[in-house]
Structure 1
Amino acid sequence: MKLNIGLSKKLLFTLCCILAIFTFNSFTGSDKFETTFENSPIIGNKPKLVVGIVVDQMRYDYLTRFYSRYGQGGFKRLLDNGFNCKNNHFNYIPTYTGPGHSSVYTGTTPKYHGIISNSWYDKEAKTVVYCASDDSVATVGSTTNAGKMSPHRMKTNSFADENRLSTQMRGKTIGIALKDRGSILPAGHSANAAYWFDGGNEGKWITSTYYMETLPRWVSKFNNENRVAPYLTTWNTLYPIKTYTASGADENSYERGFNGKEAATFPYDLNALKGKNGNFEIIRATPFGNSLTTDFAIAALKGEELGKDDITDILAVSYSSTDYIGHNFGVNSVEIEDTYLRLDKDLERLFKALDDEVGVGNYTIFLTSDHGAVDVPAYLFNSKIPAGYVNMLEIRDNLSLYCKNEFGTNDLIENISNNQVFLNKNVLKDKKLDLRNVEFLLQQELLKYEAIYKAYTGTSMGSEEFLTGIEAMIQNGYDQKRSGDVIFEFKPNFISYSTTGSTHGSSYNYDTHVPLLFYGAGIKHGETTLKTVIPDIAPTISVLLDISFPNGSTGNPLYMVFDN
């Protein structure tokens, strides 16, 4: 009888636990518990190659706006056979290239990985530093200083680093982009190589002594084959220009264009224009920069024999030309539409090479972006949508005058950059000024300016916790050692930029909402409108590879993308 009573009590306890779990899920309306178990990936079937693709300055709506014009082998191959996270966002500011690429691969935000902008004011060195610059290394592959770069300013590691550690350095990592930062930061600290494009008069792919002393044979062969010069051709629309109905008029006042050509209209004779636009540098601001990147990525795939064994390799590819073109012509331009139609074909070429070299079902792809972009404010304003431009020189002069009147000095502000005010701590000490009080007064002064929407103190960013809104996004981008003393954000659609072309950097959806597509080995077909954030990518790939998360990762694995 005692045994039966004991069993009954255990059975009753078990049933109560199960009932409590289901009751909790019913009352909270959450299916997270169920989803976690149903969508857990099968461990042990790792892809031979992971290909990370970052399309620089790609808004989410470029997938939908141009969808009907894409072929079946590029974007549509990922959309129709992979998993689409339709509500994917950056969860920090500033939304720039350096922070974006770092966040995709480290699984965290600038608060932890430390890449707070493309360039920032170094409070210790009293100078502006670039996110990838490194004077301790030298250029490999060119006679210029464009190779003096490394990832040493990135504080945390990437999932590519963790894959290297997990495989005892046998899994390769290769980073490729026209921009140095778009190649170096994704590849991480332990990469076999990162390559970027040195235009000018040489037009070569280069690297730095951080990775190697001499270029591999396949890279030298690529450079010596004169693969760049043929792209100095005429850029005309891929299809008849009258069919480009997803864009504005080709001739308008919102585009900058190229030096040496009066109107920013098709066609563009690149060979004739190169002399006034940096020679080979002009290729960056055309779709042919993406084609060149694809050529080099395929050469790397073959030259490095990526995905040829059962040890997972990582290929990090960033398409930079989309950003140059967006800055130049704006997000509503025919040039942007044509660029994405051509990129679609380049992606198809890359995917076909992966099929041939690695094998269908043996590789996994994710595609995302490092930030979006705003419509040209002048165009928005003329369309009766609130928008405008910010005169930062005027803001600096007004703040300087305020400091003179309020604190009796013109030297209190040391630097203003990246929407941050850096105070001179020596002046604070000499004047016996309280830092918190000065921060607060400058915050209140900034809020009086018409173009400024929000302002916060560095003290609040370092001592309080913000969970939602712009405050949380600023905090996720705030590094206590590197960021400023007062941080501000402009009104929606207001930018400090030229009146032609688009830019980015804000907390608004046009800058934060970017694609996130997964495809290939271990990935199911589907989509979700649940909100995902950029730091979720790295832990998702880490789970797929069954490796440790990057050491600073704050994101969550997206179990819904896995194929069971």
Structure 2
Amino acid sequence: MKRFTFLLVAFIFSFQSFAQEKTEDNPKLVVGIVVDQMRYDYLTRFWDRFGEDGFKKLVNEGYNFKNNHFNYVPTYTGPGHASVYTGTSPMNHGIIGNGWYDKFIHESVYCAGDDSVTSVGTQSDAGKMSPHRMKSTSFADENRLHTQMRGKTIGVALKDRGSILPAGHTANAAYWFHGADEGNWISSSFYMDDLPQWVKDFNASDRVEAYLKPWNTLYDIETYKESGSDRNEFEGGYRGQETATFPYDLTKLGDTDNKYEILKASAYGNDITTDFALAAIDAEELGQDDDTDVLTLSYSSPDYIGHNFGVNSKEIQDTYLRLDQNIAQLLQHLDEKVGEGNYTIFLTADHGGVDVPAYLESVKIPAGYFDSNEFTERVKEFAEEEFEEKELIESVYNSQIFFNYKVMEEAEISSSELQSKLAHYILQLDQIDKVYTRDQLSGGSFTTGAGAAIQNGYNQKRSGDVVYVLDPATIVYSKTGSTHGSGLMYDTHAPLIFYGNGVKKGSTTQRTEIVDIAPTVSAILGISFPNATTGKPLFMMLDPEESE
């Protein structure tokens, strides 16, 4: 009996010591970095040009998941940011696009739009935003709940959706950049009634104004061998400059009434974001107590630049060489303010991007452009002729077709019949690769391939009745610049690097998915997983025996 009592006391003491050690070992700050439109191969393509203290430091001293993918479509900014932080796909968190057609109110809605709140920091409507359309919690929400709301969450991004969705429903604050003629960081009454003094001070300074200057390459442009020629026919460029070639005088190119907007679409947008994030770390005293804080940080400018100039441009290369310096600056600041080993970082993307199809065609790779307006007219005409009824198609949005159920009911037209006949017709059209119906997506279970990706991105309540998939490298876009949205490798293969507290060094080529990030962070923190999580913790990085 004495021996049993001794062992019990020893066990309790050991458990308490373990629990105490675990609490002490938790990171004081988690920084989630999402780079908007970052393909995985930017890491490898520009590797030799990076310095030692940015991307290379994260990879060399952290854990690199080389085969990380989005497991759903559409691969857009809103769904991407939501999926990273909720640990699930649009099927569950409900952010099925940057915008979508709401069949209940019969109009398009924006993923972060919220008319019930007011702007803070601007008189414009740019602040009428909140996460109310995101159905599930983020790991930042779960951390707030776990710490009885003592752990802070601050969201920062140029794009409102890149700040709001990651920060979740319980964030202390989310800030985004309102360009136009103001050039200020703003927020919404969802979070606060007035901007904190430190944000007002930042806005009143000349830090943003200082970036209205020429943008030239960081290094000699002749050494940028990892990207295409500076002058070509596949880039958009800026209004006011005849050619899409360096240098760009942003002061002259900025619209008088909209002069700060151009900064978002330049490499300096990342500088502005970094400056503000560092100010937030200091002013909010992130990582300065025993309750873990969360900073959600999204770099939006690479997406604007990719859309404008394309993924193979000198502009993209220069943007990433400069972003490498931003990452180094952030790491140095965290070491000084929070302490080396006291924080955890992950870096990923919200989607990738396709090579400009016109460029692919020029080198004999199949690609093309899809006329969505013509397609919509043909679909409506077919439905009307086949069923002898007008207005059966209510909307075509994000490669989804929404039926008019009121007209169908009055005409006694079966949804299943309309789905089936429309799907068969659409599949015969040029540039269409696959078609899925609501009956298939709601009643079946796809485990691999395009069907699984479509299903993971399909929300039964919000999505349409027929979903179509275009041929590879076929897009709805201008003939200059890149875009994204598909379930193909160029859009789904995104970087994922963990670094810092709770992370061992290493790498893997095992397939991982974007929905695995949130449960992994939750496991590191010892908190509940986000409430709709479908991903799994990345055991190869977390479990010691996996390194043997």
1:254-296 deviation digits (Å, cap 9, x = unpaired): 0000111111001100000002683100000001000000000
Structure 1 counterpart of 2:191, which letter? Y
Cα RMSD for the two superposed structures: 1.1
1:60-92 deviation digits (Å, cap 9, x = unpaired): 000000000000111001011000000000000
1:539-564 deviation digits (Å, cap 9, x = unpaired): 00000000000000000000222375
The corresponding residue for 2:504 is: 524
SS of the aligned residue for 1:190 comes to coil
Q: Structure 1 CA distance, aligned partners of 2:376 and 2:188?
A: 38
Structure 2 counterpart of 1:168, which letter? Q
In the alignment, structure 1 residue 85 sits paired with structure 2 residue 65: yes
CA displacement at 1:459 relative to structure 2: 1.5
SS of the aligned residue for 1:487 comes to strand
Q: Structure 2 CA distance, aligned partners of 1:338 and 1:222?
A: 27
CA displacement at 1:409 relative to structure 2: 2.3
Alignment of 1:417-432 (within 5 A): 417-432=397-412
Alignment of 1:390-539 (within 5 A): 390-539=370-519
Q: Structure 1 CA distance, aligned partners of 2:389 and 2:445?
A: 33
The corresponding residue for 2:245 is: 265
Distance verdict in 2 for CA 1:351–1:563, change over 3 Å = farther
CA displacement at 1:226 relative to structure 2: 2.1
SS of the aligned residue for 1:207 comes to strand
The corresponding residue for 1:200 is: 180
CA contact (8 A) 1:89 1:531 kept: yes
CA contact (8 A) 1:403 1:409 kept: yes
Structure 2 counterpart of 1:487, which letter? V
Q: Structure 1 CA distance, aligned partners of 2:298 and 2:204?
A: 23
Structure 2 counterpart of 1:511, which letter? D
In the alignment, structure 1 residue 334 sits paired with structure 2 residue 314: yes
The corresponding residue for 1:45 is: 25
CA displacement at 1:310 relative to structure 2: 1.3
The corresponding residue for 1:103 is: 83
Q: Structure 2 CA distance, aligned partners of 1:456 and 1:559?
A: 34
Q: Structure 1 CA distance, aligned partners of 2:230 and 2:40?
A: 23
Q: Structure 1 CA distance, aligned partners of 2:402 and 2:104?
A: 11
CA contact (8 A) 1:259 1:276 kept: no
SS of the aligned residue for 1:53 comes to strand
Alignment of 1:280-291 (within 5 A): 280-291=260-271
- Structure 1 runs of 4+ aligned residues shifted over 3 Å read 41-44
CA contact (8 A) 2:75 2:486 kept: yes
Q: Structure 1 CA distance, aligned partners of 2:181 and 2:451?
A: 45
Identity, % of aligned positions = 59
SS of the aligned residue for 1:146 comes to helix
Alignment of 1:85-164 (within 5 A): 85-164=65-144
SS of the aligned residue for 2:380 comes to helix
Q: Structure 2 CA distance, aligned partners of 1:510 and 1:43?
A: 40
Q: Structure 1 CA distance, aligned partners of 2:100 and 2:414?
A: 25
1:175-234 deviation digits (Å, cap 9, x = unpaired): 000000000000000000000000011100000000000111111110111211110000
Q: Structure 2 CA distance, aligned partners of 1:561 and 1:134?
A: 39
The corresponding residue for 2:216 is: 236
Structure 2 counterpart of 1:174, which letter? I
Distance verdict in 2 for CA 1:89–1:277, change over 3 Å = farther
SS of the aligned residue for 1:454 comes to strand
SS of the aligned residue for 1:445 comes to helix
In the alignment, structure 1 residue 295 sits paired with structure 2 residue 275: yes
CA contact (8 A) 1:523 1:563 kept: no
Q: Structure 2 CA distance, aligned partners of 1:459 and 1:257?
A: 44
CA contact (8 A) 2:181 2:257 kept: no
SS of the aligned residue for 2:485 comes to coil
CA contact (8 A) 2:180 2:257 kept: no
Which one of the candidate residues 344, 349, 354 is aligned to 1:374? 354
Q: Structure 1 CA distance, aligned partners of 2:136 and 2:170?
A: 12
In the alignment, structure 1 residue 209 sits paired with structure 2 residue 197: no
Q: Structure 1 CA distance, aligned partners of 2:432 and 2:75?
A: 18
1:300-321 deviation digits (Å, cap 9, x = unpaired): 0000000001110000000000
CA displacement at 1:410 relative to structure 2: 2.9
Structure 2: any 5+ residue segments left out of the alignment? 1-20
CA displacement at 1:44 relative to structure 2: 5.6
Q: Structure 2 CA distance, aligned partners of 1:341 and 1:410?
A: 54
Q: Structure 2 CA distance, aligned partners of 1:445 and 1:258?
A: 41
SS of the aligned residue for 1:416 comes to strand
Q: Structure 2 CA distance, aligned partners of 1:187 and 1:330?
A: 29
Q: Structure 2 CA distance, aligned partners of 1:407 and 1:74?
A: 60
SS of the aligned residue for 2:66 comes to strand
CA contact (8 A) 2:66 2:496 kept: yes
Q: Structure 2 CA distance, aligned partners of 1:150 and 1:386?
A: 41
Distance verdict in 2 for CA 1:284–1:277, change over 3 Å = farther
Structure 1: any 5+ residue segments left out of the alignment? 1-40
SS of the aligned residue for 1:279 comes to coil
CA contact (8 A) 2:442 2:460 kept: yes
In the alignment, structure 1 residue 344 sits paired with structure 2 residue 309: no
CA contact (8 A) 2:81 2:166 kept: yes
CA displacement at 1:43 relative to structure 2: 7.0
CA contact (8 A) 2:520 2:538 kept: yes
Q: Structure 1 CA distance, aligned partners of 2:418 and 2:533?
A: 34
CA displacement at 1:393 relative to structure 2: 1.2
CA displacement at 1:405 relative to structure 2: 1.3
Structure 1 counterpart of 2:477, which letter? Y
CA contact (8 A) 1:92 1:109 kept: yes
CA contact (8 A) 2:40 2:493 kept: yes
Which one of the candidate residues 54, 58, 61 is aligned to 2:34? 54
SS of the aligned residue for 2:510 comes to strand
In the alignment, structure 1 residue 315 sits paired with structure 2 residue 295: yes
Which one of the candidate residues 328, 333, 338 is aligned to 1:353? 333
Q: Structure 2 CA distance, aligned partners of 1:412 and 1:174?
A: 45
